[in-house]
């Protein structure tokens, strides 16, 4: 009697091998096209935000309480603070461009009719890099306002401590406070009109 040929599992086994090979190839392709892990940032936005804020505190303490000191004069005359902010700002802007965050700015500007509205601009601050850029921008503008206030106060012998502290976070109010203080002091001292009306931006 002839024996029946034994069934082998060669066909299913080959099929499994082929399918496993396909899965491995697909996984390799997926890994190849997947975005690479983000490179470490030269200046993380959170670090720039907090460091700039903390460094401004002693600066304002010196300018407000010791405006005639040598250290205050060094801050007023030296380009160190604006230069440091400028470098940090440039690095953050470059990183934002590399990360594609500036594309959001371009889209807001492109959609403006004719200018961006508040809601569109508020949406930009969801990007950490853009929020840090805006914060450094405001801190620098406030510092320059405080610098002008201190220099004008020294020139006209007007107290500036309160106005400088207002400049720390609300620069326009600090400037308004100084102009009101200067006008009041000139009136109390009965200064000559030429002195009282001289521009605070003369040597700025």
Asked if residue 1 is part of any domain, the answer here is no
Q: What percent of the chain has pLDDT over 70?
A: 75
pLDDT (tens digit per residue) in 82-128: 999 999 999 999 998 888 888 888 887 777 777 777 777 787 888 88
Asked if residue 132 is part of any domain, the answer here is yes
Asked if residue 14 is part of any domain, the answer here is no
Number of domains in the chain: 1
Asked if residue 112 is part of any domain, the answer here is yes
**Residues 108-138, buried b or exposed e (16+ Cβ, 10 A)?**
beeeeeeebeeeeeeebeebbbbbbbebbee
Contact status, residue 130 vs residue 105, Cβ threshold 8 Å: yes
The pLDDT value recorded for residue 17 is 55
Asked if residue 2 is part of any domain, the answer here is no
Domain interval for residue 154 = 45-196
Query: How many CB atoms neighbour CB 186 within 10 A?
Result: 19
Record the pTM. Answer: 0.72
From CA 123, how far away is CA 113, in angstroms rounded? 17
Asked if residue 11 is part of any domain, the answer here is no
Tokens 């508020």 label which residue?
122
pLDDT (tens digit per residue) in 156-179: 999 999 999 999 989 999 999 999
Three-class secondary structure of residue 22 per DSSP: helix
Asked if residue 51 is part of any domain, the answer here is yes
Asked if residue 15 is part of any domain, the answer here is no
Three-class secondary structure of residue 90 per DSSP: helix
């Amino acid at each position: 009697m002839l024996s029946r040929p034994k069934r082998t599992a060669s066909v299913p086994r080959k099929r499994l091998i082929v399918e496993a090979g396909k899965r491995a190839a697909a996984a390799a392709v997926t890994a190849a096209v997947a975005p690479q892990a983000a490179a470490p940032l030269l200046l993380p936005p959170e670090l720039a935000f907090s460091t700039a804020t903390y460094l401004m505190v002693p600066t304002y303490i010196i300018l407000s309480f010791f405006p005639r000191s040598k250290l205050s004069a060094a801050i007023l005359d030296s380009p160190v603070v604006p230069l440091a902010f400028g470098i940090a700002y440039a690095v953050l802007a470059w990183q934002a461009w590399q990360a594609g965050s500036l594309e959001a700015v371009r889209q807001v500007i492109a959609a403006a009719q004719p200018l961006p509205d508040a809601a569109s601009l508020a949406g930009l601050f969801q990007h950490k890099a853009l929020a840090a850029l805006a914060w450094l921008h405001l801190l620098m503008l406030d510092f320059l306002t405080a610098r002008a206030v201190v220099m004008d106060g020294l020139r006209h012998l007007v107290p500036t401590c309160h106005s400088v502290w207002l400049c720390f976070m609300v620069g326009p109010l600090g400037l308004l406070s100084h102009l009101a203080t200067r006008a009041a002091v000139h009136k109390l001292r009965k200064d000559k009109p030429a002195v009282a009306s001289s521009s605070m931006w003369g040597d700025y």
